[in-house]
Structure 1
């Protein structure tokens, strides 16, 4: 019915009895992509389940239909799925059995038929992201004293926000901290022999080292095992903090009775957690009512550090927000040092993926590893993977054909 932000909004606004009739899937990809899921099912919050094949097929079907409608609205005329090559981005460590199941899902979703399977391609997320970064001018990277929005304008990249997870126009302007001229490096490194360590900061963190060959082609030199679920760790700590604030069973009672409102609170937090400043989250009336059955709501904040009540909102301090990230940052730093200590002649650390939006993460990596390594992050780092995938779909030769897992990139027949 709905996807991304619209799905979260629709489900959150449903009455409890109506919500029970629906399936709401969240972060299901992280549950299954690291395992052989040919016979797995995916559970939802209300203990209903659906086969993984069905879930993937419906996701791909929705995206296919939405893409075709969008293209028709922009270009006019009639298009069908057969008119396109479909490029699917995958993490480095995906199993062969999982890949085959995704192809089966794509067939069920109508992207291809059994006779046109060759029109589905896989590309690795890190290769796609680096391919896009290598095309950018210096003002295509996050820089000091420029908001992301203003940099989009100066880079000629002003375009609609295509994220499926955010409402239109919802991106806040964010301030960053590097001089523009300092980022003009990717276009000057074709001959310096230094390698790029690409960190895909998504639900999982992947670490991949690439050579850039003559002509701009990529060659994978090192693939590190995936790290833990970064975003979920932060959200888990935030929810535990809410339980600490609303003690004496208040939060537990609220979470049990108003599950859809809890999802809304967590989504509001997700929208703010990339900031490096005090943040405010609106407190729903039902949570206030539950709390005030025990005592005045302001008094719940007397015994906790890093949070305060602010006229109907929960204010969380910058220091407490940073605390939520400590464990993640420590793990990422440890993995980076392990890779860098292997003497792989790395010169550049490139941060991409949704978690790279986070100012706290970027500043921490910069503080830990510059000036020995140059830390770079493109504007809209999550979109870098998408746009790089299109580039690789148009020019597969940008990836060396004889790399470790050549079957990932080949069209399947």
Structure 2
């Protein structure tokens, strides 16, 4: 399908769902799309992104019309996320130490770190030995004019790194942007899938993928949850995979020569060390990109991690280990939601971002 048609259908669904939810409450009255300012978040590499494409999709989806395009805002994801982070109190961030000395933190579920759409305990706020008061001190001073932040937007596909400065009144201005890095969360997913292929050898996994694609998708979805932690994990083996494998040999024998995994009555157990190995390529690439930006001497005070991949404790701890001694490493408890909530803030107050784009194609871009 054409990309424009796909995006239009997605926006139309979200618009209709939002209006349906709002109009459920009779006391609110009846609302239509024209009653709202619509804020669309867009990739950080804006220079390569067709603005007209987003505008046309929004019009076709019924968010705005040709006459009401002024009610459409296009917001860069890192700017939205940083806007939200600057509003958070000290207990709105993960607290972490600056070394690998405490290799065995004691994670536990917390209401503050759990999305309303996630099962209890699926996200974890990790508390290390260092007192959280230090984080509080760091955050109490972060809203001063002139402070600079390196924002690391950790997505499924890409890692985008940009430097922002807080101007007078709290307005954000982008100073620098690194080349886009395609080593996001799916790099880890790919390593996990390669490991499954190593376990279920002799072509078993490839045949299973071809014949049970929906079950493979379910396994990958389950793994997205598992890669948020830094500990031994286990994932249920679909019944069909077990049956498919046993056409070749007993399923236990597939695990005999594989390091880092074991079989336990329908469950695949993966060691902490093996789980961490799935992250190696991605973390090395992110570290390299960050060092290149930090060597430019832009007087950066803090590194802010946002995006869905930043849910990973392994990623957060690695960045803290590598850069914590020199920089403040901050990550909100809900790093993926930061983009959404920051977009709402910018919709309410567009002047929070310094306009760097001019011309009619940009609509009223923060002007």
1:400 partnered with 2:354: yes
Q: Distance in 1 between matches of 2:358 and 2:297?
A: 23
Three-state SS of the structure 2 residue aligned to 1:199 is: strand
Aligned residue number for residue 51 of structure 1: 2
- TM-score normalised per structure 2: 0.90
274, 277, 287: which one aligns with 2:228:
274
What is the CA-CA distance between 1:328 and the residue it aligns to? Answer: 0.3
Change over 3 Å in CA distance of 1:167–1:373 after alignment to 2: closer
Change over 3 Å in CA distance of 1:139–1:182 after alignment to 2: same
Three-state SS of the structure 2 residue aligned to 1:315 is: strand
284, 295, 311: which one aligns with 2:238:
284
Q: Structure 2: which 5+ residue stretches go unaligned?
A: 97-105
Aligned residue number for residue 187 of structure 1: 140
Q: Deviations over 1:277-328 (max 9, x none)?
A: 1111111111111111111101100011010001101111111110000000
Change over 3 Å in CA distance of 1:139–1:381 after alignment to 2: same
Aligned residue number for residue 199 of structure 1: 152
Contact 2:145 2:169 (C-alpha < 8 Å) held by counterparts:
no
Q: Distance in 1 between matches of 2:118 and 2:134?
A: 33
Change over 3 Å in CA distance of 1:340–1:411 after alignment to 2: closer
Q: Distance in 1 between matches of 2:86 and 2:214?
A: 42
Aligned residue number for residue 85 of structure 2: 133
What is the CA-CA distance between 1:169 and the residue it aligns to? Answer: 5.1
Q: Distance in 1 between matches of 2:60 and 2:144?
A: 46
1:98 partnered with 2:59: no
1:62 partnered with 2:13: yes
Aligned residue number for residue 313 of structure 1: 267
Q: Distance in 2 between matches of 1:96 and 1:309?
A: 47
Tell me whether 320-329 or 112-121 shows the greater mean CA deviation. 112-121
Superposition RMSD in Å: 2.3
Q: Deviations over 1:195-216 (max 9, x none)?
A: 1000000131110101111211
Q: Distance in 2 between matches of 1:216 and 1:82?
A: 30
How many residue pairs get aligned? The number is 353
What is the CA-CA distance between 1:68 and the residue it aligns to? Answer: 1.1
325, 340, 348: which one aligns with 1:386:
340
Aligned residue number for residue 179 of structure 2: 225
Change over 3 Å in CA distance of 1:261–1:174 after alignment to 2: same
What is the CA-CA distance between 1:174 and the residue it aligns to? Answer: 4.2
Contact 1:276 1:318 (C-alpha < 8 Å) held by counterparts:
yes
- TM-score normalised per structure 1: 0.80
Contact 1:134 1:187 (C-alpha < 8 Å) held by counterparts:
no
Three-state SS of the structure 2 residue aligned to 1:381 is: coil
Q: Distance in 1 between matches of 2:296 and 2:357?
A: 19
1:149 partnered with 2:110: yes
1:124 partnered with 2:70: no
Contact 2:94 2:125 (C-alpha < 8 Å) held by counterparts:
no
What is the CA-CA distance between 1:72 and the residue it aligns to? Answer: 2.0
Contact 1:207 1:226 (C-alpha < 8 Å) held by counterparts:
yes
